[in-house]
Amino acid sequence: MTRRLLAAALLLATLTACGDRGEDASTPEAGDVPTTPRALAWVAAQTLPAPDRASATDDFDELGRDAVGIEMRYGSDGEYDGDLLALGVSDRLPRDLVDCEANDYLSGCVTTDDGVVLQWEEQVPEEDPGTVIVIVPRAEGAAVLFQSGEPVTGDPRELDLRVSVDEMIALGQDPRVAPTTTQEAVDGGEDLAFWVDS
């Protein structure tokens, strides 16, 4: 009886170890190829629904000249440009961007246990729908995301947004969302049906 239990335990341990290796294999890895706007859009489309369109943007000036950024649009209908989700990466991060006390114009600012900074500005009815910002600091630099379009009426973690805060964080924490990425991401970015050259 003891021998059977030991054999079963060994089998279970073997299966568990195999399962762990399988999960590790599916985790994205960082790369050493300079990223491109198209590569960022390709990685984003692996995590989020594909946007109606995406293009390069220079809206991330505060991250420095070498920042790479994209904007993606959801819900475009010909008259409305669509809700905006922007993503930028850089090898630098100005400290004032993540200082909640320095940004007192915000409606809310919190730092999560893993160091992610979530900021938001609530809507001004008939003027501004509000903004949700996620900053993912790295050893060097950061990934910054912001979205605007749907009304921000309070803590965005409690709102039913087109792209949830959890999805924004997951994208920002993807190791391929960085100043360097994988060759697969760069190659994938060359063939995007939703990409628009700006």
* Phi/psi at 98 (5° precision): -105, 10
DSSP string across 69-107: EEEEEES--SSS--EEEEEEEES---GGGG-TTT-TTSS
Rounded Cα–Cα distance for residues 166 and 149 (Å) = 17
Tokens for 179, please give them.
């100043």
Pairing label, strands 142-148, 180-181? unpaired
pLDDT, residue 116, reads 97
pLDDT, residue 76, reads 85
The kind and range of the H/E element at 144 are strand 142-148
pLDDT values of the chain reduced to their tens digit, one per residue, 198 residues: 444 433 433 333 333 444 443 444 467 788 899 999 999 999 999 999 999 999 999 989 889 889 999 999 999 887 788 999 999 999 999 888 899 888 888 999 999 999 999 999 999 998 999 999 999 999 889 999 999 999 999 999 999 999 999 999 999 999 999 999 999 999 999 999 999 997
Tokens for 63, please give them.
């991250």
Q: What does pTM read for this prediction? A: 0.84
Yes or no: say if 152 and 131 are a contact pair by the CB < 8 Å rule.
yes
Rounded Cα–Cα distance for residues 62 and 89 (Å) = 11
Count of CB atoms within 10 A of residue 67's CB?
21
pLDDT, residue 5, reads 37
User: What are the residue boundaries of the structural domains of the chain, listed by start?
Assistant: 31-189
Count of CB atoms within 10 A of residue 51's CB?
25
Distance of CA 142 to the CA centre of its chain: 11
pLDDT, residue 27, reads 72
Count of CB atoms within 10 A of residue 53's CB?
18
Q: What angle do CA 168, 66, 42 make, to 5 degrees?
A: 40
